[in-house]
Amino acid sequence: MARNTLSRSLHDVGLAAWFGGTLANAVALNAASAEARGAKGSAKVADEGWDRWTPVNAAAIGAHLVGSVGQLAGNRRRVARQQGVAGMSALKTLLTAAALGVTAYSRSLGRVAHGSPARSGTRPSKVSRKQAAAAREQLDRLQWVVPALTGALVWVSSYAGEQQRPGEVARGVAQR
């Protein structure tokens, strides 16, 4: 098997940043923003934090996608010949598409909520306009979905690595 160090690194580092950054923001930033002075201060802290994270997250996602394509290209024979690899690849693709969709939708909700008064990053204040309040309420529920999906991708990626053990490859090819 050929080495795919660059694509594997892009895949893994991009996924780690995507997972870790969204988890940290859900755990810490959104909750900590409630400590700012008043509803406008809470919104400002959360909005600024997420605005700063967005370009880093975009780069992380881009690195992960480039690495994923490289991994798929580098393992195309295994995908075709080793039992279980095509199914794992399909699952990774589905999870990646779902995480991308939720990430994009969450960003659009963040734009709607941006600047509206809030009790925390994802909890609207009583004086928020209806559309912004609804967006923050949806963000409150969705803030855990991206870390859950990307965490599942980490798990499936670990499983994929296990499928590359010589004994697993031999067994999977023989079963195919």
Would you state the structure tokens that stand for residue 53, as one six-digit string? 């994270």
pLDDT at 116: 79
Please name the residues in contact with 91: beta carbons below 8 A apart, sequence gap of 6 or more: 156
Tell which residue, 1, 6, 153, has the closest CA to residue 78: 1
Rounded to whole angstroms, how far apart are CA atoms 147 and 26?
9
Residue 41 pLDDT > 70, yes or no?
Answer: yes
Q: What is the value of pTM for the model shown?
A: 0.86
Domain total of the chain: 1
pLDDT (tens digit, 9 = 90+) per residue, 16-39?
Answer: 999 999 999 999 988 888 888 777
What is the residue range of 155's domain? 5-175
* Residue pair 71/7 in contact by the 8 Å Cβ criterion: yes
